Structure 1
Amino acid sequence: MLHSQFVSLLALAGTALAAPSGDVTKRAQTVYLAGDSTMAKANGVTTGWGVFLPYSLSLPVVNKAIGGRSSRSFTREGRFDEIIKAVQPNDIVVIEFGHNDGGSLSTDNGRSVCGGAGTETCQTTYNGVAETVHTFPWYLTEAGKAIIAKGAKVIMSSQTPNNPWESGTFSYGDGGRFVGYAKAVATALGSNAIYVDHGAYTANYFKGIGKAATDKLFPQDHTHTSPVGADFVSKAFVKGLQCGGGGFLKGFVKNETASIVGSCL
């Protein structure tokens, strides 16, 4: 099953374009963030990890994440298009979705994606408008292809975990299907995309600090962290990045791997 899903993702990304050749304007690379509330700036009681990423990088960071969005709604609202229009060669776009992509289209909330790992489609009506809904991998792949066509790079990041101590004991498996899809999309997009298992590195950090300390980082619900928690979640992303060799951000990370809590997975 996993093999067939991966093959379908390869076909989906088969038309991914390599970075265009030619001279690249000398300028500071910019890092763009595309995601949901777990990445976006929020009300202060909770906030997203993207707020703290600039403290770990020597490059400018533009946080385009917005609460309540999924890969589908981020696409439909033209938010990926805004990033695609803005990026220049050698810029880097971090894409992280999954928290809002599940659910059923029978009572369409405008966020749920069509099931499947490839080009499957579903028909729905949202806010009185007929819409063809695609799969999670399709939305990520189309965005990734367009970003790469502009000469930029893509980091596909797995979604952050809900509080893994919520049941009373630590529980974190593979992160769910959207985690696997994000990894497969990054692979299918080729050399201009990499994958960071942000979910696993964040869960590993929570495991290390224990239940009581983790619970304090979730002041409102099991998904959204306090600013202190968001800072740790941001560092978990950097840990995953550095443990993988740094990828497109090699040389631009201020934190040394050893100084970030946790171990390489």
Structure 2
Amino acid sequence: MSLTRRQTAAALLALPLALSATPALAHGGGGGGRPRPRTLHIAGDSTAAQKYAGAAPETAWGMALPFFLGRALTVANHAVNGRSSKSFIDEGRLTALLDGVRPGDLVLIQFGHNDEKTEDPARGTDPYTTYQEYLRQYVKGARARRAEPVLITPVERRRFAEDGTAKPTHGEYPAAMRALAAEEGVTLIDMQALSLARWQELGPVGTEAYFNWLEPGESPNYPDGKQDNTHFRPDGAVDVARATARALLDERVLAPRDLRRLDDPVPAAWITWPQA
């Protein structure tokens, strides 16, 4: 692929987000003299990505995160279904994301689910070599733009042993990300550990309402029903988004004034799925 084509692809990838961000940016800088809102840029996979009408009620935590942020913060969700730390970069998506990053912004980086697919050369990575090497590119890119990178270990799937114990499913990838965060001095949100503890608390039955488990006929998008142990319904996405917001506060990445509703209900009805 030539450089010109790569640049063109990156520009096309960035266009929808740039257009959607324009009204928010208009409130900062310029004639009003007020500071530009800070943006939280999400790099990730289907557990974070925007879902559209054809996938409802499947929901991702990136869709629910804005409910917990104050007006001075906005979200640019670049996460895409099926991407790994490697394929996100190879497709030019990190370049597109970084083009919109400004000093003071945050870059939230959550990969792992698809890095584990080592049988796929386009996506698979090795935890302590290529996975860390790709993650470093996100960290360096954010820091080069005077933004703060935040590494987020992959949220856990719904897996239980016969005795009802929630089981980890991500192998060495969370540990590799923890090690990288320590080495590079990057803020880490250990969502793998947080979500595993949450699924244990809810148990095998309680977690069904959090994941995209549907009875036949319950949703027109899934007429035969669905038993998805990776992707969320609104309640699960809201729970993970709330935990993410709390962790950003606990790690002092965000201040109390930056957040809202951490202890208040966020109804599932607030989630919407736009047309693709």
How does the TM-score come out when normalised to structure 1? 0.73
User: Could you say if the C-alpha distance between residues 168 and 41 of structure 1 is closer, same or farther in structure 2, counting changes exceeding 3 Å?
Assistant: farther
Give CA deviations for 1:164-221 in whole Å, capped at 9, x if unaligned.
Answer: 336561223595311112222222222xx30001121122222222221102322132
User: Could you say if the C-alpha distance between residues 209 and 195 of structure 1 is closer, same or farther in structure 2, counting changes exceeding 3 Å?
Assistant: same
**2:235 alignment partner, SS class:** helix
1:36 aligns with 2:31: no
Matched residues in 2 for 1:104 and 1:203: separation? 23
User: Could you say if the C-alpha distance between residues 29 and 188 of structure 1 is closer, same or farther in structure 2, counting changes exceeding 3 Å?
Assistant: same
Contact 2:86 2:124 in 1 (8 A): yes
Give CA deviations for 1:18-41 in whole Å, capped at 9, x if unaligned.
Answer: xxxxxxx73221111110000012
Partner of 2:10: none
1:229 aligns with 2:236: yes
Partner of 1:27: 36
User: Could you say if the C-alpha distance between residues 235 and 188 of structure 1 is closer, same or farther in structure 2, counting changes exceeding 3 Å?
Assistant: same
Matched residues in 2 for 1:249 and 1:112: separation? 33
Contact 2:106 2:148 in 1 (8 A): yes
Which structure 2 residues correspond to residues 92-241 of structure 1 after superposition, within 5 A?
A: 92-105=106-119, 108-113=120-125, 115=126, 117-118=128-129, 135-165=130-160, 167=162, 169-173=164-168, 175-190=170-185, 193-218=186-211, 219=213, 220-241=227-248
User: Could you say if the C-alpha distance between residues 55 and 180 of structure 1 is closer, same or farther in structure 2, counting changes exceeding 3 Å?
Assistant: same
Shift of 1:84: 1.3
Matched residues in 2 for 1:168 and 1:65: separation? 35
Matched residues in 1 for 2:57 and 2:148: separation? 33
**1:39 alignment partner, SS class:** coil
Contact 2:48 2:63 in 1 (8 A): yes
RMSD across aligned positions (CA)? 2.1
Matched residues in 2 for 1:223 and 1:64: separation? 19
Contact 2:83 2:123 in 1 (8 A): yes
Structure 1 unmatched runs, 5+: 1-24, 119-134, 261-265
Matched residues in 2 for 1:38 and 1:87: separation? 22
Deviating above 6 A after TM superposition, structure 1's stretches of 4 or more consecutive aligned residues are none
1:247 aligns with 2:252: yes
